[in-house]
Amino acid sequence: MNEWQNTFNEFKKKYVVQTRERLGKVEDLIGQLNEPTREDVIKSIRHHFHWLAGSGGIYGFPELTALGKEAENFCDTTNAAAVVEVRDRLQAFVGTAKEVFSAGAEGVQSLPTVAREVSEQVSVLLVDSDSKRAAKLKELFEELSIAVTINSDFSHASATLQDNAVDGLIVTVPLVDGSGYDLVEKFRSLPSTVDSPALILNAMPGFLDKVQAIHSGADGFFEEPIVLQDVAERMRFLLETPDPPDYRILYVEDDPYQAEFVRAVLSSAGYAVEICDSAKNFDAALTNHQPDLVLLDIMLPDVSGYELARYLRQNEAYATLPILFLTTESKVDAKIRAAKAGGDDYLTKPVAPSLLLSTVAAKLERARFLKSLLHRDGLTKLLTHTAFMNMAQAALSRRARQPVKRLGLLMIDIDRFKQINDTHGHPVGDSVIISLANLLRRRVRRADLVGRYGGEEFVVIVEDLSESEVESLAKRLLFDFSSIEHKASEKKFRSTFSAGISMFDASKMQLADWVNAADDALLQAKQAGRNRIIIASSH
């Protein structure tokens, strides 16, 4: 709060100086009103009053905001025949503004805090028979504001999961009275924790079965020597929700004082803010900053904010980009024009920091939700073909920076799916697709990519597994899927899939080559009789 207040006080000092200068410029312009360029002079005067209307209330001068808006409206309705009357009226506005400003220019207006609200504390169940290690981990988690419940064995942990809501699970293997893998699987099967993070700690060197850990639904595993700080940080990362620092905002505003104030407010909440002071730089700012939200002032010197909004909406790439207008205009017709231009909301200057932050946060969250709908398949809720390929390319880019990282691609196709549809109907076919999608979601890590490639085809990218380990995981998935009973009216039936595996080879592969290799291996599995996994040849 002190840092923010100090920043605000510095802005206010600059504002006091700038306001005095502007009022002096307005007086000089009023003196030019008998010249032929009167319309241009009125436009310049209106611009200064527009600035006053948008800034006064922010710095503790609400009377200046009201006066600025009144003077703006007067400039819009004046006529060329009443030069003396116009001049006298504008001079009266300036005189009143000086009086109001002088009366309170030395005070400092305190602003409400703009920090984000702290979310409810999350909790983790830690299952570990080593009391010293458990105590150290608990200390680390408490430093991260994460509550910890400690159980030492399988039976107590099972009861805890059944009776209490937890947000994450950490379990050591082996356990004295059961399987840590089974405990993770139970955790994954509960409706309240189906998408919650789970980690496995290998307490005995050489004991960990990576494939079984992934198959059980674990998001990660740690082997001896276990660095407890890394475990805590990994769980913290998995528990985090999308945070405002990940969001980028572009603010188009020609007034540097307004722009810097808004930047300070939004930056204090963790947003990355880029200022664009001219429409001429708008395209470059969009390309370089890649904003998640655009703030537009309507009154710009070269074009209006409405025109920039319409320009944005003509580009499909920005169809879901939130646009928020921030201006002094508050008339109903202005709000209608903003909506017609494609704006998502409209805030009137001066806007309270808390209102600005809450509106921005709401629009960003809404956009994130819409984007997730576009990137997820409607039936399975897995990544769409396009989203998967984009994220797969990103995975290859990460691998280029970490060449030792292994990547395996699994291409899956449900066997005789057309026959299922023809025999039992498309709704039953859809239920088979959903069952496989749910199985994949439960049996691979959240960090692994899973997508619906098309129709009854699925794709999975797994990291840090050898070729034999990827094959072992695929076989377990095939066994699990073939064990599921599907219902069709009074009948029950089972299904299988075929799969192709391709390990990424940076020396000879691009993304398309990698996918094609897995697809070719899948075709071989189909031709060899289905219900099997084929590994793509490395030659």
Just list the catalytic residues.
Answer: 456
Q: What b/e readout covers 154-174, taking b as 16+ CB neighbours within 10 angstroms? A: beebbebbeeeebbbbbbbbb
In whole angstroms, what is the distance from residue 46 CA to residue 238 CA?
52
The contacts of residue 399 (CB under 8 Å, 6+ apart) are 405, 407, 504, 506
In whole angstroms, what is the distance from residue 421 CA to residue 430 CA?
9
**Pair 318, 338: CB distance under 8 Å:** no
In whole angstroms, what is the distance from residue 66 CA to residue 56 CA?
8
Nearest-5° Cα angle at 226, 220 to 229: 85
What are the φ/ψ torsions at residue 484 (nearest 5 degrees)?
Answer: -75, 130
In whole angstroms, what is the distance from residue 319 CA to residue 314 CA?
8
Q: Starting at the edge strand that comes first in sequence, how are the strands of the sheet with 122-127 ordered?
A: 146-151, 122-127, 168-173, 198-202, 220-222
User: Residue 64: which H helix or E strand, with range?
Assistant: helix 62-77
The pair of three-digit structure tokens given for residue 297, joined into one six-digit string: 């002032």
User: How many Cβ atoms from other residues are within 10 Å of residue 392's Cβ?
Assistant: 21
- Beta strand 168-173 pairing with 122-127: parallel
Q: Is 290 left (phi over 0), alpha (psi -120 to 50) or beta?
A: left
The pair of three-digit structure tokens given for residue 290, joined into one six-digit string: 């890649």
**DSSP code of residue 207:** -
- Beta strand 497-503 pairing with 533-535: parallel
In whole angstroms, what is the distance from residue 364 CA to residue 343 CA?
14
